[in-house]
C-alpha cells in the first residue's frame, strides 16, 4: 500500500487494503489503516475514509501517528469541527498532531489559527516551524513578518541551515514584500527558476528593477534557462526602467520559442511603449492574431504615454466592446488628458455605465490639467454623493491647482484631504508638498515654509528626485545635487558649460520652480542645475561628447525650468532627448520642441 501511495496510485492502494480485509487471515495493521486513510484523503473519497474510521476507531485512537492522518483527513474533507473535537480531547499531542492541525487550518484558509496552535507546542519540529512561516506568508502583515523574523532568529542551531525552513521563511519575506530580507535569504536556499522568479517579482513590486536585471545575470552564470514567467518579469523590469538600450538588450535574449506566448507579447508592448518606442510596440501589437484586453490596453497606454492621444482614441474605437474593462477606460482617458483632448474624453466618459473611482479620478485629472476646475469638482461631488471621498480624486484636483498656481483652490482641496484622510501619511505628505509648492510659486514663501516645518516635526519626508540613464551599457542613477559619481567634477564642469550655453540663447532660470528659500551660497541657477535629470544629461555628454540621443527616466514630474532647458539643450547640442517622468514621456526634438507641446 505504501508503495502505491508513494507512486500516487491511491486507488490501487485502497483496493489492496480492501483485499487485506476480505482475507480475514490477519489483523489489519496500524500501518495499513494509516495508508488507507491517506489514500482516501488523496482521492477525496471521504465517505470511505469515515467508514474505515468507524470500523477501526478503537485501534486508531491508540496510535498518534494514525490520529494525525485522521486529523488531516478531516481537514481535507473540510470537516474542521470534528478535527478540532478530536484534537481537543487528545491529552498527549505529538508534534505530528500539532502539525496536522496547523496544515489543516492553512489548507482551509484559517492561517491565524495555525499560528495560535504553534505557540502551544513545547519543542516544535522543522515541519511545525515551516508551517508557521507558511501561515505568516498567507497573512503577510507587518505583525506576521516580525513574527517570522523573531522565530527565525531564535531557532535552535540544528535548524539554522535547514533548507526547508529557510525556503518557507524566504517565501514569507516575498509574500510580505520584504525584498531586503528575501535577498539576504536567497543564497541560503535551493536556487532554481522558482526561487529566482519569486525574488525578481519582489524586486519589481518594490520598484527595484535594476536588482531584477542583476539577478538575471547571476541566473545566467548558474546556467538556469529562462522560462516564460521569468521572461515576463525581466520585460516588466525593463518597462519600469524605460530605457531603450536596456529593453533592446533583454528582448534579444528572450528565446524565440517564447515569442508566441501572449503574455510575453503583451509585456513587450508595454515595455516598448514605456521605453518611448511606440513603433516597436505597434509592430508587436499588429502581429497579434487576436489581441486580448491586455494587448489592446497596453497599446492604448503606449500611445497615451507618448502624447499620441488621437491614435489611442482610434484604437479604442476599434476595440471589441466585450474586451473593454476598467483599466482600458483609464488608459484611453489618460491619453486624452495628456493630449488636451477634453471633449473626446467627455464623450467617452459619458458612455461609461460603471464609473468607478479610478475612471472618475482620470476624468478629474483630465479636467484639472485644462484648469476646468468646476467640471472636475462636479465629478467629485457626484461621486461623493454615493461613495466615501476618494483621496486619489482629490489629489488629482490639487495637482491641477498647483499647475495653475491657484492657491485658493489648493487650500480648499488640501483641507478636504486632511479632514478625510489624516491617517494616510503618504497622501498627507504628497498633498502638503503640492500646497507648499503652490504657495512658493505664488510668492507666499512663509506659508510654504510653515508646511515644510510641520512635515519635519512629524518626521515625514518627501521623495527625492531620482533619474536613471544608460551610458556605455551601464545603468547610472542620479539624485538631486548628487556628487557621489567618481567623475563628479567633470559632470559639474559640463553642467556649468551647458548653463552658459543656455543663457547665451536667452534662457532665464525660473525661480518659481524652487519651493524653498535659497541658502547663503546658493543661486537660482545652482539649485535648478542640480536637479537629477540635469546631472544625467551632463554625464551623458561627459562620457560621449558627440552623442545624438539621450534617454532618462525620472521618478518625479519634470519641473517647468528643466522642461524649458531640455528643449533648448536639444536645439543647441543637436541631440534628441527622451525623458520619462512620473506622468508621461517627453520627446525633445533637435528643433527645440517637445512632443507634449508644453502641456504637462
For residue 161, give its domain range. Answer: 2-187
In a domain, 174, yes or no: yes
CA 364 – CA 129 distance, rounded (Å): 50
Residues 151 and 277 both lie in one domain: no
CA 55 – CA 85 distance, rounded (Å): 19
Q: How remote is the C-alpha of 456 from its chain's centroid?
A: 28
CA 234 – CA 511 distance, rounded (Å): 41
pLDDT digits (tens, 9 = 90+) for 242-258: 999 999 999 999 999 99
In a domain, 582, yes or no: yes
Residues 165 and 211 both lie in one domain: no
Nearest to 91 by CA among 70, 67, 69: 67
Residues 108 and 181 both lie in one domain: yes
Residues 178 and 203 both lie in one domain: no
Residues 364 and 265 both lie in one domain: yes
In a domain, 440, yes or no: no
Residues 216 and 157 both lie in one domain: no
In a domain, 299, yes or no: yes
Residues 123 and 256 both lie in one domain: no
Q: What are phi and psi of 467, to 5 degrees?
A: -130, 135
Q: What are phi and psi of 585, to 5 degrees?
A: -110, 130
In a domain, 182, yes or no: yes
CA 436 – CA 402 distance, rounded (Å): 9
Residues 128 and 247 both lie in one domain: no
CA 194 – CA 340 distance, rounded (Å): 45
In a domain, 595, yes or no: no
Query: Strand ranges (DSSP E) for 190-314?
Result: none
Number of domains composing the chain: 3
Q: How remote is the C-alpha of 237 from its chain's centroid?
A: 10
Q: Which residue has 520584504 as its cell numbers?
A: 178
- For the chain, 600 residues long, give each residue's pLDDT as a single digit of tens: 565 556 577 777 777 777 766 676 457 777 777 788 778 777 777 677 667 766 777 777 667 677 788 888 888 888 899 889 889 888 888 999 999 999 999 999 999 999 999 999 999 999 999 999 999 999 999 999 999 999 999 998 888 889 999 999 999 999 999 999 999 999 999 999 999 999 999 999 999 999 999 999 999 999 999 999 999 999 999 999 999 999 999 999 999 999 889 999 999 999 999 999 999 999 999 999 999 999 999 999 999 999 999 999 999 999 999 999 999 999 999 999 999 999 999 999 999 999 999 999 999 999 999 999 999 999 999 999 999 999 999 999 999 999 899 999 999 999 999 899 887 788 888 898 899 889 988 888 889 888 888 887 777 676 778 999 999 989 999 999 999 999 999 999 999 999 999 999 999 998 878 767 778 888 999 999 999 999 999 999 999 999 999 999 999 999 999 999 999 999 999 999 999 999 999 999 999 999 998 888
Written in H, E and C, the secondary structure of 431-486 is: HHHHHHHHHHHCCCHHHHHHHHHHHHHCCCCCCCCEEEEEECCEEEEEECCCCCCC
CA 451 – CA 9 distance, rounded (Å): 70
Residues 117 and 242 both lie in one domain: no
Q: Which of 333, 355, 387 is the last residue of a domain?
A: 387
Nearest to 364 by CA among 383, 387, 339, 347: 383
CA 467 – CA 555 distance, rounded (Å): 7
In a domain, 480, yes or no: yes
In a domain, 459, yes or no: no
Grid cell, residue 496, equals: 556649468
The angle formed by the CA atoms of residues 493, 494 and 495, to the nearest 5 degrees, is: 90
Residues 77 and 179 both lie in one domain: yes
Q: Which of 340, 355, 387 is the last residue of a domain?
A: 387
Residues 181 and 205 both lie in one domain: no
pLDDT digits (tens, 9 = 90+) for 468-525: 999 998 999 999 999 999 999 999 999 999 999 999 999 999 887 876 777 888 899 9
Amino acid at each position: 500500500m505504501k508503495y502505491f501511495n508513494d507512486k500516487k496510485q491511491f486507488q490501487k492502494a485502497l483496493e489492496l487494503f480492501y483485499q487485506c480485509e476480505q482475507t480475514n487471515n490477519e489483523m489489519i495493521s496500524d500501518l495499513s489503516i494509516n495508508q488507507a486513510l491517506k489514500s482516501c484523503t488523496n482521492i477525496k473519497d471521504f465517505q470511505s475514509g469515515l467508514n474505515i474510521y468507524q470500523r477501526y476507531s478503537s485501534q486508531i485512537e491508540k496510535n498518534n501517528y494514525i490520529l494525525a492522518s485522521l486529523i488531516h483527513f478531516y481537514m481535507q474533507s473540510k470537516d474542521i469541527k470534528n478535527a478540532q473535537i478530536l484534537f481537543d480531547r487528545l491529552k498527549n499531542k505529538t508534534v505530528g498532531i500539532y502539525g496536522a492541525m496547523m496544515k489543516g487550518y492553512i489548507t482551509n484558509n484559517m492561517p491565524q489559527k495555525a499560528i495560535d496552535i504553534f505557540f502551544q507546542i513545547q519543542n516544535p519540529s522543522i515541519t511545525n516551524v515551516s508551517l508557521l512561516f507558511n501561515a505568516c506568508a498567507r497573512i503577510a502583515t507587518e505583525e506576521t513578518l516580525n513574527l517570522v523574523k523573531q522565530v527565525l532568529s531564535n531557532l535552535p542551531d540544528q535548524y539554522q541551515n535547514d533548507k526547508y525552513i529557510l525556503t518557507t521563511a524566504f517565501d514569507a519575506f516575498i509574500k510580505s514584500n520584504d525584498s531586503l530580507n528575501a535577498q539576504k535569504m536567497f543564497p541560503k536556499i535551493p536556487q532554481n527558476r522558482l526561487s529566482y522568479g519569486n525574488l525578481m517579482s519582489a524586486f519589481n513590486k518594490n520598484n527595484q528593477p535594476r536588482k531584477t536585471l542583476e539577478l538575471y545575470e547571476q541566473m545566467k552564470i548558474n546556467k538556469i534557462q529562462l522560462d516564460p514567467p521569468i521572461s515576463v518579469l525581466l520585460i516588466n523590469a525593463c518597462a519600469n526602467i524605460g530605457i531603450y538600450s536596456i529593453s533592446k538588450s533583454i528582448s534579444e535574449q528572450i528565446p524565440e520559442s517564447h515569442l508566441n506566448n501572449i503574455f510575453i507579447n503583451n509585456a513587450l508592448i508595454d515595455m516598448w511603449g514605456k521605453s518611448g518606442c511606440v513603433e516597436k510596440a505597434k509592430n508587436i501589437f499588429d502581429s497579434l492574431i487576436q489581441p486580448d484586453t491586455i494587448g489592446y490596453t497596453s497599446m492604448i497606454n503606449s500611445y497615451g504615454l507618448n502624447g499620441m492621444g488621437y491614435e489611442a482614441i482610434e484604437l479604442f474605437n476599434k476595440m471589441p466592446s466585450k474586451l473593454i474593462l476598467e483599466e482600458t477606460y483609464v488608459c484611453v482617458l489618460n491619453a486624452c488628458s495628456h493630449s488636451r483632448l477634453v471633449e473626446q474624453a467627455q464623450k467617452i466618459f459619458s458612455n461609461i455605465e460603471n464609473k468607478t473611482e479610478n475612471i472618475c479620478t482620470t476624468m478629474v485629472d483630465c479636467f484639472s490639467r485644462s484648469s476646468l476646475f468646476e467640471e472636475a469638482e462636479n465629478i467629485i461631488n457626484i461621486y461623493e454623493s454615493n461613495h466615501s471621498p476618494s483621496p486619489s480624486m482629490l489629489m488629482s484636483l490639487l495637482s491641477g491647482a498647483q499647475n495653475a498656481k491657484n492657491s485658493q483652490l489648493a487650500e480648499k482641496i488640501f483641507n478636504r484631504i486632511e479632514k478625510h484622510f489624516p491617517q494616510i501619511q503618504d497622501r498627507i505628505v504628497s498633498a502638503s508638498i503640492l500646497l507648499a509648492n503652490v504657495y512658493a510659486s505664488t510668492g507666499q514663501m512663509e506659508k510654504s515654509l510653515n508646511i515644510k516645518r510641520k512635515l519635519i516635526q512629524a518626521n515625514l519626508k518627501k521623495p527625492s528626485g531620482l533619474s536613471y540613464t544608460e551610458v556605455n551599457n551601464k545603468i547610472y542613477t542620479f539624485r538631486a545635487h548628487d556628487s557621489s559619481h567618481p567623475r563628479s567634477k567633470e559632470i559639474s564642469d559640463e553642467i556649468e558649460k551647458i548653463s552658459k550655453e543656455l543663457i547665451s540663447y536667452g534662457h532665464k532660470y525660473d525661480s518659481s520652480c524652487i519651493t524653498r528659500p535659497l541658502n547663503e551660497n546658493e543661486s537660482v541657477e545652482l539649485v535648478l542645475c542640480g536637479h537629477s535629470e540635469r546631472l544625467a544629461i551632463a554625464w551623458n555628454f561627459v562620457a560621449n561628447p558627440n552623442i545624438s540621443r539621450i534617454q532618462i527616466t525620472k521618478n518625479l514630474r519634470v519641473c517647468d525650468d528643466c522642461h524649458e532647458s531640455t528643449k533648448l539643450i536639444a536645439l543647441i547640442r543637436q541631440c534628441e532627448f527622451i525623458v520619462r517622468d512620473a506622468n508621461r514621456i517627453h520627446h525633445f526634438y533637435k528643433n527645440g520642441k517637445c512632443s507634449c507641446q508644453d502641456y504637462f
